[in-house]
Every structure is written in C-alpha cells, then in structure tokens.
Structure 1
C-alpha cells in the first residue's frame, strides 16, 4: 500500500506544479480537470501522512516494549500500540476505497427528470413528493437546484418535472436514484381507506458540456409556444417557451421556466445535450453491468428500485435489500443513509474487481 501511496504523492506534487503554469490556467478545461484531480489527490495524501505516522508509532511502541527499560514508558507504549492497531485496519479500508479509480462522470452536475407513472392523480402527487425530497436533500448538501420545465398534475404534484442540480460530485451521489420509485399508501381521494400502489420514474442525466456532445443545429427542429403556469403578464401572450426536437434520435427537450426565449432555448439545448449524452452513457453502463453483473443499477429506467410504504412507515431499496423504518425522515430529504449504503455496495463491487490489492 505504501508503494501505491508513494505514487499518489508523486502525482500530487506534479499536479501542484502544473496548476500554477500559465498555459494550464489559460486552458479552462484542463485547469478544471487538474483542480479536481488535485483535490482528490490531496485527500489521499493526507491519508498517506496519517498512515505513515501510524505505522511509525507502531514500530516505535514495539521498540519501547521490547526494550522494557521503563515501566511507565512501556505502559504508555502498550496503550499507544493498542490504539494504533485498532485504527490501522479502518484506515487501510478507507485508503482502499479512495484508491478505487473514480468514474469521470461522477463530478458532473445533473438534470433530474421525474415523471408520474401508473396511478393517475396519486402518481402525480407522488412525483411532487419525490421532487420535494430531492430539493430538500440538495439544499442540505449545499447544492443549487434550478427548475427547467414542469407539467402540473390536475390534483397537485407534477405529471413531469425537470430540474438542474449543481454542486460537488452531484452525479456520483444521485446516479443511483435513477429508476422506478413506487409508493404504497391511502390516497386522499380514497373513501374506503384502501391502500393504492402508484409509481414515478426518475432519470438522472449527467450534464454534458459542449465538448462532450456536439449537436448539429441543422438536425434540430425548434418550436416556440406560450408558457403556462406562474410567470406574470407574459404567460400565454408571448411565445417564450421553446421545444427542441433532435430529428435523428427523436429526443425532445423543452423549457418554459425563463421569461426570455433565448434563455429558454439555451436551457432546452442543455437538456437535449444531456439526454444525448445519457443515451450513449446508458449503452456503456449496460455493457459494463453485463461484464460485472453489477448489483446496483444506475441506468435502467424500467427497474423498480425502491418502495415507500406509508402504512408501515418503511422504505425498501430492492437492489441491495435495504429496509429502513424512517419514511418521514427520508421523504423529507434525509436520504444520505440510503445513498451511503448504495455507494458502499458499489464501491465493494469495484474493490473486488480491482487488481490493486
């Protein structure tokens, strides 16, 4: 492990020198990539320093105990040795996970799309609950959310809602949320008190930069229409909403949240670019999943991934068999415990595949 960590230290020193070079600073894309690498390596270098200190303390304590000259010193050395030996396996495990090669997509911002599925009005209400859950979670993480497009349900919630999330390692955190979410509860409209099952589909698209996906605007049909919903006097009078159709693939993206037609077009293009990028990424993920038979799916839109059971107050993630009796907390944005477990399983799988250890 020390050999691997020594390589990390060398690379950290190289990157530290590179990011202050004028030609690197002038190249925005390279500068951003190197800054991200610097931050990841810095965390590993700090762990390396702790590892070196810990192993040094163990050697020193063993020497004092072997010498046996001073009883008080020997007793202190035994305590130090016990503490160090307890910490060492934990630290080694932390370093192993940190040495797993990171998915370059994980650092990207995302477009999240929530669509009501089976269940009529109740499905739209549930889609609204999921939107609230994610925005509260993002708020707690210090991430910024921005509404792109929405289609409200007739009895509340949304038939469809699209929003952007910006922050640190957003895709790496939210990618496991993609799939079908199912709710079991008594709808407000139900007079007999019967439990109904409804569903909503969540898509998490890594936000593509222009250099990730090149779109030929000759392949894009642009339709303008009047916005609907809140927005002041310009609603239903000005054709500010924009719908883009990518003719070769049939993919459609629209935005009506901004008052400016130009801003709506830019946002819609961003969504379209992300959808095209996600389409290619999904193919790659499917190939990778087939190769390793991955337990945690992050790209299959048709997979039922989670059930929110209100009568029992439980949330079950079917991919890893996790059940938590904290439905109120989770639906109010306390998602971290679920995401931590999903990431742990995914990292364990990667670790098994890794030839490093």
Structure 2
C-alpha cells in the first residue's frame, strides 16, 4: 500500500512545476540550445499535465498545467482534442513576452509552438493512444483523425503567421506526429524547427535487442553493410533507381529540413536512430557512399512487401538530415552492468523530464547529419 501511495505522490510531484520544472531558467537566452531544448520539453510536458488535469478533474487552483508554459511567457492558444476519446493530445502555444522585455533577448523566440504529448496509459486515453501506437508501427499514422487534426493545426498557424519562428515539439508518440507533420510541411518547401524527444523508431532490420545478442562490433558492421547492400540492390530492381539521386525525389526534397532529435541510448523505442545515422557516416568513410545513399532512402521490409505485390507506406524514420542529440546518462551503465530492464528504468530513459535537467548540457553529445 505504501509503495502505491509513494508512486502516486511521485507522479503528482512531476506534474508540479515548482517541484520538477527548470526553475533555474529565470532568464532565457533564445540563442542558447540548452534553453531552447528545455523550454520545448516543458511545453510538451504541459500537454501531458493538461490531459491529466482533465482526467483527474483538477480545475481552478487545483489544476497543475499552466505553470509549465506561463513560466516562459507562453499562453495556451488552442487545445487539440482527439475526436475518438476527447483526450487533449496537443496544444498551440503563443509567445506573449512582457512588454518590458528586451528585444535582443526575445527576437529568436518562437511566435508559436505546436506541442504533442505521447502515450498516457490511463483509462480515459490509453486505449486510443495504444491504437495509434499500433498505427505507427504499421506506418498508418498519417491515416488517423488525430494526425489530421495535428496537421490542420500546423497548416493553420503557418498560413496565419508564416513559417518563421514556428516550432513543432513532441515526445514519443507525439514526436512521431510532429515528425510526420514536419515532413509533410517540408515537402511543400516549409521547414519548421522541430524538437522531437524520444521519437519512436521501428524497423525489423533495426531491432534494438540484436545489439545485445551480437556483441562483436565487427560483426555488427558487417551485418549492417550486408543490409545496405541488399536494400540498395532491391531498390534498384523494384524502383529502377540508378546510383545518382534525382532532384525531384521526395526523399531529396526533405534534405534541407533538419529536425532536432533527442534520444537516449538505453531507450529501445528511439535508440535505433543512433545506428541509423552513424552507419551512414561509416559507409561514407569506407567509400560506399553511393550504396548507402540509395539504401538510406528505402526500408528493406517495405521493399520486400512491395516485391510480393503488397503496397506499404515508407516508415517515418527515413530521414535525410537531422541534428541528433544523445543523452548518455548513468542509467546506460547501470543497465549494462546489472542486465535489468525495469519499468522504472524505462520511464527514466524514455521520460521527458530528463531533457531539462540543469546539468544535462555537461553530458549531451550532439552531431549534425546533413544529407547532400
């Protein structure tokens, strides 16, 4: 009984800004990458808390959500509500700085932020969230009503205000929605700044547990090279590609969009992005750039499905460019040393809270992958 109460207490504490928020950010420098990341993460968490306020009927002085955006001088412009279960899955925030603010401190601030939460495993939202998780795995997320609402919100904000200083932010399932919206806008020539925390990556050829089964790095590299060779060859057979990409290729059209991805190497939901981009660099270093250039535009499982006459949409993780930030915290060493994967540890490495820790910048490893 006491453990249950402690667990509930901890969850409530994480929703209280004065106990869990980045109170050290009293003065924001909008050119500072750490500040921008922290604010984006807090705005996403605000969506989580807003939905939990709704589910727990926390109203008036008992509601906990508003400090997560008010602290940074944002206002709630619009709630994005799922038509299936009436849950709040996103928020459009509008930046409203104090009139006394110095222009040189706020000129790089976003005008609007469209933020999306991830899965909440509660009765009022869990079933629909899990259904959307399955749609993501099947590459059907773009066919859902939730994505249509999200996409409409992004398009409306851009139509009203232009595409400058408009952010997309999301966590987990919300990152998948944000990434899909960002890719859709980029294909029209609109490149929105995106902060995608623990974005899910699902591919049968990138399953994380394979890294644990196969410990030898040389064997891993050989398997990845073979995968790239097979993927590139099958793409040539199926699509008639040559070695040189066409300028009108949809994948090439995304190259100028550089979303910011934030991943944890011990989080099996998003960690495959690390190998996805590192392998591309490795292939370039060994002189196999032309092969990988073709392989990275295609998914081997999807090509196999198409080879047997089954249509399949390209998976979300196929990205030309990205700014990849990795948080190699102590949880990684702990799990490797003890060989455990507890729910508590998963929540730590997959959670949104890790991304605004005061000393996080001392550990983060960031790298730009620009497709050209």
- Tell me which interval the TM-score lies in, with the shorter structure as reference length: under 0.3
Q: Larger C-alpha radius of gyration, 1 or 2?
A: 1
User: What TM-score, normalized to structure 1?
Assistant: 0.26
Structure with greater proportional strand content: 1
User: What TM-score, normalized to structure 2?
Assistant: 0.25
